[in-house]
Amino acid sequence: MSSSNDHHPITSKYMWLAGLLKQQIEAEIWQPREAIPSERQLEVKYKVSRPTIRQAIDYLERSGLVYREHGRGTFVSPQKLQKGMQELTSFSEDLIRRGIKPGQIIRSISRVVPTENILRRLEMEPGTTVLQIERIRLGDNTPIGLQTSFVVLEEGQEITKEDLEKSGSLYAILQEKFNIIPTEADETLEVTLATPEEAILLHIKTDAPLLLNERLTYNQNRKPVEFVKILYRGDRYRYITRLSR
Amino acid sequence: MSSSNDHHPITSKYMWLAGLLKQQIEAEIWQPREAIPSERQLEVKYKVSRPTIRQAIDYLERSGLVYREHGRGTFVSPQKLQKGMQELTSFSEDLIRRGIKPGQIIRSISRVVPTENILRRLEMEPGTTVLQIERIRLGDNTPIGLQTSFVVLEEGQEITKEDLEKSGSLYAILQEKFNIIPTEADETLEVTLATPEEAILLHIKTDAPLLLNERLTYNQNRKPVEFVKILYRGDRYRYITRLSR
DNA sequence: TAATAGAACTGGTATTAACCAGTACTAACA
DNA sequence: TGTTAGTACTGGTTAATACCAGTTCTATTA
């Protein structure tokens, strides 16, 4: 099971075509709002049938790289570089994207029986254990957040401190070690004030305002994967997301 | 082929099928995680070709109503009622969904020349005017947010105080009066502290923590439609969203 | 000259037909 | 008895073909 391609594994002809077109769009062969070749033209050029062409363009449209106008053509979306911002991201992917160097201090990592509330949210049987990970998140080497994760793992599936220190990204480990792929998440954000303990860890004053981010993550089949609580320093973090309908 | 369906106008056979399946799913004909009939079975039952069946199921899958497993079948997603939470919503749609009665006090509505910063974000020519709307947002009749909207409107396109008071939703007015449909938005959330003026309007103390939500909304073709700033009372509002990749 | 009909493009929908690729169960085999 | 190979399901991919439905421009017409 070799990789050889990260974003668009060539598993099918339409994915190969989509990757090819994506490359050209990113190389700015066409300007934003400029039309790409019509489906009939692509059909001739790449010698594939129109259904396949349309499948490839469907994919690009869903990814937000192009938009279609009936009777006019298919056009390159403006806003280069912002691609994928709507994607479900991990903390480290998120910071890298903004040009900030991510870092972390792992405070603890152990199997625990979570509170009833968390157990219910993770849709688990009473008495089951989850992996709890407590981390201090750094941005350019200064603390910006306190994170506590509760990860649903079978008996025998374990993640070590070394795994986390090497990769930095929990999502990358889940995918590589256990083939668990987070695909959807419900998030809430609200304002809270720092407790004395939190204040010390984040190098701020007690009662300083914090951004509390709670996230429940699901895999492909809507099974809960992880519940996370992150307390961000109000003065050093801004949450960014993209919505669509 | 009667209507009886509001969200999915019957414009095509696959949409008709999708609506039909959606009704059955919502009527809980099949339990969550239970398989719906296979594509070949549906082909016979509804007398449509498999590509059409697949188009309908593609739509349902994107909507999050079902998920597919290669070699096993297509299954009903759990979590009824949460459908559409990932959608781009207006403030009022948002509150209704949570069972809170939305309300508003319109403080001002007028054409203004916005600041350079906002002009740039809305991708407009210098000197152009936008419609500025200042509102106090209410939840169950108490203030929970201060909202300032900057809406891109052509000369002649106007929205009156009466329009807003009647409908309550800016998005509904944009769609009905001018056929402008917001489809995507970039949002940021951060913590700020209340200025004396903001404190008075929101019935809180100066320097109380607030949740600042900025949103830039785009239409189908990625043209900016609206820039909004909303200051929420930290003690009365929790932001909810859904992410997916 | 201005309005209009139509041709020639664009993407959208639908059908037919094969075959590939996972999954799960069963019957034959060692 | 336990393993294995087969088979009959599932969804996934690709093709060839036809026609529908918007958009744009041009050449004809009044």
Per-residue pLDDT of B215-233, as tens digits, reads: 998 876 778 889 999 999 9
pLDDT score, position A83: 33
Q: For the ranges A10-14, B115-119, B195-199, which has the lowest average pLDDT?
A: A10-14
Residues B225, B155 within the same domain: yes
Distances (CA, A) of A130 to A149, A156, B170, B225: 9, 12, 45, 45
pLDDT score, position B77: 84
Residues A63, A163 within the same domain: no
> Is residue B3 in a domain?
no
User: Which nucleotides of chain C have an atom under 7 angstroms from any protein CB?
Assistant: 9-18, 21-24
> Which of residues A185 and B200 earns the better pLDDT score?
B200
- If pLDDT is split at 50, 70 and 90, which confidence band does A3 have? very low
pLDDT score, position A53: 95
pLDDT score, position B166: 80
Q: Is the CB of A54 under 7 A from strand D?
A: no
Residues A166, A69 within the same domain: no
Residues B185, B113 within the same domain: yes
Tell me how far apart the alpha carbons of residues B172 and B9 are, in angstroms, rounded to a whole number.
Answer: 18
- If pLDDT is split at 50, 70 and 90, which confidence band does B245 have? low
Count each helix (H run) and each strand (E run) in chain B, helices first.
8, 9
What does the DSSP 8-state code read for residue A82? Answer: -
Domain boundary among B44, B76, B108: B76
Residues A220, A105 within the same domain: yes
pLDDT in tens, A199-239: 999 999 999 999 999 999 887 677 888 999 999 999 888 88
pLDDT score, position B32: 85
Q: By the CB < 8 Å criterion, does B234 face chain A?
A: yes
Q: Is the CB of B50 under 7 A from strand C?
A: yes
Q: What chain B residue is nearest to A218 in terms of C-alpha separation?
A: B244
pLDDT in tens, A150-166: 999 877 778 888 888 88
Residues B197, B172 within the same domain: yes
pLDDT score, position A1: 32
Residue A197 tokens, joined? 């303990």
CA–C1' B235–C11 (A): 50
> Is residue A1 in a domain?
no
Q: Is the CB of B54 under 7 A from strand D?
A: yes
Average pLDDT of chain B is 83
pLDDT score, position B61: 87
> Is residue B81 in a domain?
no
Q: For the ranges A2-16, A105-119, B120-134, which has the lowest average pLDDT?
A: A2-16
Residues B185, B147 within the same domain: yes
pLDDT over 80 (residue B146)? yes
List, in sequence order, the alpha helices (H) in B33-90: 39-46, 50-62
For chain A, the domain total comes to: 2
Residues B223, B114 within the same domain: yes
Residues A109, A175 within the same domain: yes
Q: Are B130 and B110 in contact (CB under 8 A)?
A: no
Q: Are B240 and B85 in contact (CB under 8 A)?
A: yes
pLDDT score, position A9: 47
> Is residue A238 in a domain?
no
Tell me how far apart the alpha carbons of residues A225 and A210 are, in angstroms, rounded to a whole number.
Answer: 26
Residues B129, B170 within the same domain: yes
> Is residue A207 in a domain?
yes
Nearest CB partner across the interface for A243, out of B222, B238, B241: B241
Q: What chain B residue is nearest to A233 in terms of C-alpha separation?
A: B191
> Is residue B111 in a domain?
yes
> Is residue B109 in a domain?
yes
Residue A150 tokens, joined? 């509760």
Chain B residues 21-40 with CB within 8 Å of chain A: none
User: Which nucleotides of chain D have an atom under 7 angstroms from any protein CB?
Assistant: 9-18, 21-24
Residue A72, classified by CB atoms within 10 Å of its CB into exposed (0-12), middle (13-18) or buried (19+), is: exposed
Domain boundary among B22, B43, B76: B76
pLDDT over 50 (residue A141)? yes
Q: For the ranges A44-58, B34-48, B135-149, B152-166, which has the lowest average pLDDT?
A: B152-166
Size of interface A-B (CB pairs under 8 A): 125
Mean pLDDT within A89-111: 78
Q: Are A165 and A201 in contact (CB under 8 A)?
A: no
HSE-CB for B56 with a 13 A CA cutoff: 28
Rounded to 5°, the CA angle B48-B51-B56 comes to 80
> Which of residues A190 and B175 earns the better pLDDT score?
A190
Residues A138, A115 within the same domain: yes
Mean pLDDT within B46-73: 90
Q: Are A94 and A86 in contact (CB under 8 A)?
A: no
Enclosing domain of residue A140: 91-233
Residues B42, B119 within the same domain: no
Nearest CB partner across the interface for A79, out of B87, B182, B222: B222
Mean pLDDT within B89-97: 64
CATH code for the domain of A209: 3.40.1410.10
pLDDT in tens, A50-96: 999 999 999 998 887 888 988 999 999 876 433 333 345 556 666 77
pLDDT in tens, B101-117: 888 899 999 999 999 99
> Is residue B83 in a domain?
no
pLDDT score, position B44: 93
Tell me how far apart the alpha carbons of residues A166 and A169 are, in angstroms, rounded to a whole number.
Answer: 9
HSE-CB for B217 with a 13 A CA cutoff: 23
In chain A, which residues have their Cβ closer than 8 Å to the Cβ of B242?
A: 184-187
